[in-house]
Amino acid sequence: MDNLTDDKEKELKEKVINEIVDEIREKRKSDADVEDNSETSDKKDKVELSDKEELSDKEELSDKEELSEKKELSEKKELSAKKELSEKEELSEKEKLSEKEELSEKEELSEKEKLSEKEDFSEKEKLSEKEDFSEKEKLSEKDKLQENDKVSEKDDKSVVHSDSKSSDKKDESEVALIPFIDPSVEKYKNKKKKRKKAGLIFLASLLIIYFAGVIYCANFFVGNSKINSQDVSYKSVKNADELIQSDADAYTLKVAFRDGSVTLKPEDIGANAVLKENIKDVKKKQNPFLWFMYFFNDSKFEVEYALQYEDKSIDNYLNKLQYLDNDYMVKPENAYVKLEDGEVKLIPETEGTLLDRERLKDVLVKAIDDYTPYIDADKEGCYKIADITSESEPIKQTVKRAESFLNIKAQYDFGGYIYQIPKDELTRMAYIDSTGNVKISETNVKLYAEKFAEQFTTYHKDREFYTHDNKHILISGGYYGWQIDGEAEGEELYEEIKKQRDFVKTPVCITEGYTLSDTNDIGDNYVEIDLTDQHVYIIRDGKVVYDSLCVSGNESRGMGTPGGVYPITYTQQHAILRGPGYETPVAYWMPFNGGIGMHDATWKSKFGEDYYKYDGSHGCINLPLDAAGEIFQLVEKGMPVVCYWEDEITYLD
């Protein structure tokens, strides 16, 4: 009977254990499915997880109820069997103790393995996804509760029956020893292996590329490489050398002159271009092990060129140069000062095109040695300059002396009218000698004096005149005015001019006028006699201050008074007028045209009208006594007397 009972209990326990194992496996499988599907949709995972939790709770509750029923049934069976087994228990205490110790060790080992698996699983879940970890942790806690319940159930059974307890412990140990295989862990391990493999492949690729670059850049120039601004990137030493050599061979030197330019080529002087540094040595300056650094930084080098030639080849070239031909070159001229058009003019030096051969040669040689592509002969000081420039001190002193001469006041006094010799006339009378001093030309002074005499001589010349009633007329005749002796004036003017000082002088005259103005030589003080109207007007300061009727020469006897302009010869009181067959005393005598003059005529009772035609004078201007007295007081020697007949004058307006 005991054997029958033990078999049933064993079957029942195996059935329960198998159900528990199946449930655990189904839960873990569902967890793996949840993990795989978590990548699809976060919201779906949460819903499925919630459903599984509810299902798990229900299953757990069902398991607990089932276990409780089984536990009650077992307890009843155990109680019925206690009596039967009491003797056996006593006999097998030692065996039980041994089994307990063995079971205890197995439980401890099982618990350690479970904890180890759970910790490993927890760490793997943390590495994959934090959200899955929290969900699996909950499931793990539930698993622990189930295992603890089972352990407690087994402990209780062990109290009832040592054989059944020992068997239960063994079964539970077998369950506990079943390895926990999580699909996510396997997936993580696979990913880790793939990553590690990819990293190794990437690292190997980098090493291959790096060493390939090292090998390549050991024989070729790296990127961004330039020699003398020529791009030699990725070129071999040979190709780079050919490129730089061709650049050196292409050298030319342009020489600019004042009146043209030439281009000198190496073959013109039989020169060969060479590099002062080997391109191979330049390549060694690049570190091939750091080739990748040159992608971010320019690698620039300068290699100097040189032309190999003989010194005499330069001389031969210069001998053939047109710009050094004596017939072609123009000598520079010194700066100088001249007097012209009333000004002091500084004429600057002329540069010319006269080259300094030795200086030009030195400049050419230096330019060729330095591989200079362009030079300006003028800027390099290859031209000979004038001895005296506009900035020279002697020139400045000459300008100062010339300006001093040109500023003198050379004046003539025509009876109160001052005339100053213009500066343009002064510049014609003087010149600057070779020592920079102002010299006076006697010939030119005398030429000016003749010109001056002609300009200001009014004697026997027609004159424009405005009558008392503002009629603009042209008067001819008479012998009034200025008559300048040009030759004598030239002598005096030269003596004054050569002193180079201010002066005022009266011109040397044969006859002198009463005055002079910009319009005529009559001025504003004169006597106007209208012979047609038989009227005399005294003008002072341009205004009529006195007038009177008169009687002129008797035309019927051929003694008419002539027109023209004449000066008053003198004035005299109580004079006796004598002529053929007469001798007449007068109170006031004012002659102006030889024996013709103005005087009082007390023997006449009528003046004006046309009495002159039949009762006129011998040619004089007869006046009433009181009028003659007034006029005598208003005139003086030299004052012009303007006489005109209307039929003899020309009206200008």
Mean pLDDT per 10-residue interval, the chain, length 653 residues: 52 66 64 48 42 47 52 57 53 51 52 48 44 44 46 39 43 48 75 84 86 79 83 85 83 94 92 82 80 76 84 92 94 94 94 94 93 94 92 94 96 91 96 94 96 93 93 93 95 96 95 86 94 97 96 94 96 93 94 96 94 94 97 96 95 88
Q: Are the C-beta atoms of 110 and 104 separated by less than 8 Å? A: no
561: CB partners within 8 A, 6+ apart: 529, 531, 552, 553, 596, 612, 617, 619, 620, 621, 643
C-alpha–C-alpha distance, residues 125 and 182, integer Å = 10
Q: Are the C-beta atoms of 452 and 507 separated by less than 8 Å? A: yes
C-alpha–C-alpha distance, residues 303 and 288, integer Å = 21
42: CB partners within 8 A, 6+ apart: none
Using the structure block, give the residue that is written with the tokens 């459903």: 51
H/E segment holding residue 117: helix 93-128
- pLDDT value for 533: 96
Neighbours of 90 (CB within 10 A): 9
Residue of 158, 172, 177, 147 whose CA lies nearest to 14: 172
What is the DSSP secondary-structure string of 126-169?
HHH-HHHHHHHHHHHHHHHHHHHHHHHHHHHHHHH-HHHHHHHH
Determine the distance from the C-alpha atom of residue 648 to the mean position of all C-alpha atoms in its chain, rounded to a whole number. Answer: 80
Q: Are the C-beta atoms of 225 and 238 separated by less than 8 Å? A: no
What is the DSSP secondary-structure string of 15-47?
HHHHHHHHHHHHHHHHHHHHHHHTTT-HHHHHH
Long-range contacts from 431-435, C-beta under 8 angstroms, 24+ separation: 431/338, 431/339, 432/336, 432/337, 432/338, 432/339, 432/398, 432/402
Residues recorded for the chain: 653
Beta pairing partners, 643: 529, 564
Neighbours of 553 (CB within 10 A): 20
Span 408-511: which CATH code?
Answer: 3.10.20.800
Report which residue type is found at 185: V
C-alpha–C-alpha distance, residues 604 and 615, integer Å = 9
C-alpha–C-alpha distance, residues 126 and 537, integer Å = 143
Q: Are the C-beta atoms of 50 and 155 separated by less than 8 Å? A: no
Residue of 253, 270, 271 whose CA lies nearest to 262: 253
C-alpha–C-alpha distance, residues 167 and 74, integer Å = 14
Residue of 397, 406, 401 whose CA lies nearest to 342: 406
* CATH class (in words) of the domain with range 526-651: mainly beta
C-alpha–C-alpha distance, residues 291 and 297, integer Å = 11
Beta-sheet strand order (sheet of 374-376):
260-264, 253-257, 374-376
Q: Are the C-beta atoms of 348 and 391 separated by less than 8 Å? A: no
- ∠ CA 257-262-266 to the nearest 5 degrees? 135
Residue of 234, 145, 201, 180 whose CA lies nearest to 29: 180
Beta pairing partners, 583: 578
- ∠ CA 102-103-104 to the nearest 5 degrees? 90
What is the DSSP secondary-structure string of 290-346?
GGGGGGTS-EEE---EEEE--HHHHHHHHHT-GGG-TTT----B--EEEEETTEEEE
- pLDDT value for 30: 58
Residue of 508, 463, 504 whose CA lies nearest to 485: 508
- ∠ CA 128-133-136 to the nearest 5 degrees? 130
C-alpha–C-alpha distance, residues 361 and 375, integer Å = 12
CA torsion, ordered 227, 231, 236, 242, to nearest 10 deg: -70
- pLDDT value for 17: 66
